Amino acid sequence: MQKIKIGVIGVGYLGKFHAQKYAAMENVELVGVADVSENLARQVAEANRTTPFTDYRELLERVDAVSVVVPTPLHYKVACDCFASNVDVMLEKPMTITLDEADELIDKAEKGGRILQIGHLERFNPAIVAMQNYLTCPVFIESQRVHSFKPRGCEVDVVLDLMIHDIDIILTVVPAPLESISTIGVPVVTKETDVAAAQLIFKNGCTANVTVSRVHHDNVRSLRIYQPGSSLTVNYATKEIKIIELLSGTGPEGYPNEKITHFCFTEQDALAAELTDFVTNVRLRKKPQVGGPEGRKALDVALRIISQIHHHINKHKDTLCSGL
């Protein structure tokens, strides 16, 4: 089988892992890695026995496909250059910072016959994959994603940095259009929103409450789904899922009897699964599970949430703390 020639553009914290995964694949040739930091490009290239570049456009001349793992404001420009060079793109989330940019990338990919896959990694979390078999009719969803402060990712709002993961999963889980959004959020450490909460109400009546923070002292990534007769709890970090199903009859205290099923997928690698899927899509010219339209859908909701938060802060700027 002919090897797919792949490169990685941007080899910071996440990009270096992309390079590692590709380098370990038998059906892939990691042609090179590119970064504006010559030292970083060289270090990652040496670790993965490939070639470093400081100008990603030189890399595009030699590859079939790339992972684009640069800061979000640069996604559009880099992806456009990739498509102009007839290169398929694995674009980290969020796909862009505006819907116009997202629409243009989708259009360029379609017209050029290119693969555009968006890096919504949680879609490939094995606990989320296993959850699909137990979904019936979600009625209420609770999602929490909080962690301690890290400068990485702070060039964008916490909604684009973190909440967009949960937005994407919820939009996939609920088989109905989104009807309304209510939000609250506040900047704490950066000039962008660092803590946010959103309530999403869908036309079928399902409600989802989503909370994110990047200035928390704990690290929690969880999802709970309640539906008639059962509930599902996912721990994203440990890749665990617990399913509670109600049975006939009641226990000593009158509560319905339950069947509890627990799965743990600690050994499975979500990033490796995601990038393997991308390579398969490149080879077979398959439509990605998480393509441009799916990335745009999550981005649209995220931007609406951000707009509401900004409107709330501006409306109450005279009464909220002056630091806002």
Mean pLDDT confidence for 132-156: 88
For the chain, give every residue range classified as CATH 3.30.360.10: 123-268+302-315
Q: What is the mean pLDDT of the chain?
A: 94
Most confident of 96-105, 185-194, 311-320: 96-105
Looking at the predicted structure, is the pLDDT value of residue 321 above 60? no
CATH class, range 123-268+302-315: alpha beta
- pLDDT computed for residue 324 by the predictor: 47
Per-residue confidence at 183, pLDDT binned at 50, 70, 90? very high
pLDDT for residue 153: 60
- Stretch(es) of the chain classified as CATH 3.40.50.720: 4-119+271-289
pLDDT at residue 159 greater than cutoff 70: yes
CATH for the 4-119+271-289 domain, from 3.30.930.10, 3.40.190.10, 3.40.50.720, 3.20.20.70 = 3.40.50.720
pLDDT at residue 139 tops 90? yes
Question: What is the tens place of the pLDDT at every residue in 59-73?
Answer: 999 999 999 999 999
pLDDT band at 55 (very low <50, low <70, confident <90, very high): very high
Q: What is the pLDDT of residue 107?
A: 98
Secondary structure in 3-state letters for the chain: CCCEEEEEECCCCCHHHHHHHHHCCCCEEEEEEECCCHHHHHHHHHHCCCEEECCHHHHHCCCCEEEECCCHHHHHHHHHHHHHCCCEEEEECCCCCCHHHHHHHHHHHHHHCCCEEEECHHHHCHHHHHHHHHCCCCCEEEEEEECCCCCCCCCCCHHHHHHHHHHHHHHHHCCCCEEEEEEEEECCCCCCCCEEEEEEEECCCCEEEEEEECCCCCCEEEEEEEECCEEEEEECCCCEEEEEEEEEEECCCCCEEEEEEEEECCCCCHHHHHHHHHHHHHHHCCCCCCEHHHHHHHHHHHHHHHHHHHHHHHHCCCCCCCCC
